[in-house]
């Protein structure tokens, strides 16, 4: 039994590592958006590789633990939710890569800068990722609830950006005859990517409830 506990701790350790990586990727991306620099792209791409490896490691570890120890009750629930969390974290990493690519596009093809709202969104989303991982690790349903509610704020920012970019600038640029399509497009897609990161954070928050109470709560569905 002691061995099993050790394995669980080790699994948790790997998961924390992955969560940290996801958060730092988002933080790095946000810094890149703020400074409008591509210095971060190498870091992000490297992190993405590490992330993928970690996911594979953790998932195979989960399968191993399930087959060898056949855990029950709380332990079983925990081990099962781990795979969900890893897949969400992995997608957060993917979105970080997407954002870097979009930033590259924006810098290469447009004179536009990322909107202040995008930076705002970035900070909010980074906090959400951090909070979601914290809530999951601490099995704290209150925190989970708090951070999953932040998603509304992120969504509203996303809507605002979309509306603004679509209404004025694209139309005007297009009418002028020298359209800067890449800028607004990147703007929208970056916002969308950040919004997706927020959704993944919410999914991680959702995994806390079965850990704590044993039942799935999905108020938005």
Partner 1 sequence: MWSTRLFWKPFTYFSLLIILSSVIGGATTIRWQQEQIIRQLELRLRNTAIALQSPAEEALAHQDIEDFQSVIQTMASQINTRITLVGKQGQVFADSHKDPQQLDNHGDRPELITALKTGNGSSKRFSDSLGIEMLYIAYRIEHQGTTVGCVRAAVNTQQISDQVADIQFKIATLVLIIIVGGLSIAGIGISKMTQPVVHLIEEARELTSGQIKKPRNLSKGNEFDELGQTLNNLSKTLSKRMRQLERNHNELLVVLEGMKEGVIAVDGSDCIRFANEAVCRMFSLDVKRDEGRPIWEVLRNQMIETTVHKARKSDEPFHGKIELLTPHELHLSLSASAIPSSSHSSSSKNPGVIIVFHDITEIHRLENMRRDFVANVSHELKTPLASIQAFAETLIDGAIHDDDNNMLFLTRIVEQSDRLNLLIQDLLSIARLESGENVTDFASVDLTEIAQRCLNDHQSHAAKKNITLVSNQIDSVWVFAEADGLTQILDNLVDNALKYTPEDGTVSVNIQAESRAVRLQVTDTGIGIPADHQDRIFERFYRVDKARSRQLGGTGLGLAIVKHLVNAFGAEVDVISAADQGTTFQITFPLVDDGDA
Residues contributing to the site for partner 1 (CB under 8 A): 9, 12-13, 16-17, 19-21, 23-24, 27, 126-127, 130-131, 133-134, 137-138
Closer to partner 1 by CB, 28 or 95: give it: 28
Closer to partner 1 by CB, 135 or 188: give it: 135
Least CB distance from residue 81 to partner 1, whole Å?
Answer: 16
Token code pair at residue 165: 């970019």
Shortest CA distance to 98 belongs to which of 5, 216, 185?
185
Least CB distance from residue 137 to partner 1, whole Å?
Answer: 6
Closer to partner 1 by CB, 38 or 119: give it: 119
Least CB distance from residue 62 to partner 1, whole Å?
Answer: 18
Least CB distance from residue 13 to partner 1, whole Å?
Answer: 6
Token code pair at residue 14: 């790997």
Closer to partner 1 by CB, 119 or 217: give it: 119
């Amino acid at each position: 039994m002691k061995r099993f506990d050790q394995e669980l701790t080790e699994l948790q350790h790997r998961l924390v590592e992955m969560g940290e990586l996801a958060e730092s990727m988002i933080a790095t991306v946000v810094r890149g958006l703020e400074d409008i620099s591509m210095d971060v792209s190498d870091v992000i791409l490297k992190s993405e590789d590490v992330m993928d490896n970690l996911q594979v490691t953790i998932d195979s570890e989960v399968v191993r633990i399930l087959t060898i120890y056949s855990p029950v009750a709380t332990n079983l629930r925990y081990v099962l939710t781990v795979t969900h969390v890893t897949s969400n974290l992995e997608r957060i990493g993917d979105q970080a890569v997407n954002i870097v690519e979009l930033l590259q596009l924006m810098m290469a093809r447009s004179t536009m800068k990322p909107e202040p709202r995008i930076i705002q969104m970035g900070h909010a989303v980074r906090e959400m990722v951090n909070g979601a991982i914290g809530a999951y690790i601490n099995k704290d349903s209150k925190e989970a609830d708090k951070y999953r509610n932040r998603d509304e704020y992120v969504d509203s920012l996303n809507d605002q950006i979309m509306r603004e970019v679509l209404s004025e600038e694209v139309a005007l640029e297009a009418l002028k005859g020298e359209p800067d399509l890449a800028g607004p497009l990147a703007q929208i897609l970056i916002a969308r990517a950040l919004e997706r990161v927020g959704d993944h954070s919410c999914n991680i928050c959702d995994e806390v409830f079965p850990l704590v109470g044993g039942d799935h709560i999905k108020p938005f569905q």
